[in-house]
A and B are shown apart, each in its own frame.
Chain A
């Protein structure tokens, strides 16, 4: 089981790098925000996987919970902010 968890942690990191391409190259600002949201949710899963891997998941799940709250509020605030800025400015 711990081999599977290690492989999943590595694969999740690789997938986060792939979504980082959309953050770097997105044509509009909302594409970049979409990539940031993907990286945020994968970070939550990666935290819990790493916690299970080193057997300290009781510590890591609290970090994951607060990160989920902060990431959600950050996405909402950024969407609200860029709503009033027209495309191409």
Chain B
């Protein structure tokens, strides 16, 4: 059981690290939002699931699963709200060779 939990923790951290590299490297806001929305949600869900496996079946691990479910719902919603607000405020997306880098 500990082996599965450790694998979930390391895999989840790998996803989080991928999301942060995407945030740092991708060219404009919408690409960065794409990196944040998926990698971060899956990474955080895997890490909290692994920690709940270490804890065993108690009230604390049920609360951890509650955090997991809340983040799985809230993180895509926040990503969507940010993207919608950016479109409405007139932030233009990046295109190859229109003067931006």
The chain A residues found within 8 Å of chain B, CB to CB, are: 1, 4-5, 8, 11-12, 15, 18-19, 21-22, 27-28, 30-31, 33-35, 37-38, 41-42, 44-45, 48-49, 52, 57-58, 61-62, 64-65, 68-69, 72, 75-76, 79-80, 82-87
Q: Could you give, for residues 1-14 of chain B, a 1 whenever the CB lies within 8 Å of some chain A CB and a 0 otherwise?
A: 01001100110010
- Contact partner of B29 (CB less than 8 A), chosen from A31, A64, A72, is A31
**Sample of 11 A–B contacts (CB below 8 Å):** A21-B24, A30-B86, A34-B23, A34-B29, A38-B23, A41-B75, A64-B67, A68-B67, A79-B85, A86-B89, A86-B90
A1-B6, A65-B66 are known contacts. Are A76 and B78 too (CB-CB below 8 A)? yes
How far apart are B41's CB and chain A's nearest CB, in angstroms? 8
Chain B at the A interface: mostly helix, strand, loop or mixed?
helix
B-side interface size class: 35 or more
A21-B24, A52-B54 are known contacts. Are A58 and B78 too (CB-CB below 8 A)? no
Chain A residues with Cβ below 8 Å from B10 are: 4
- Contact partner of A30 (CB less than 8 A), chosen from B17, B40, B91, is B91
A65 to B23, CA, bound (A): 25
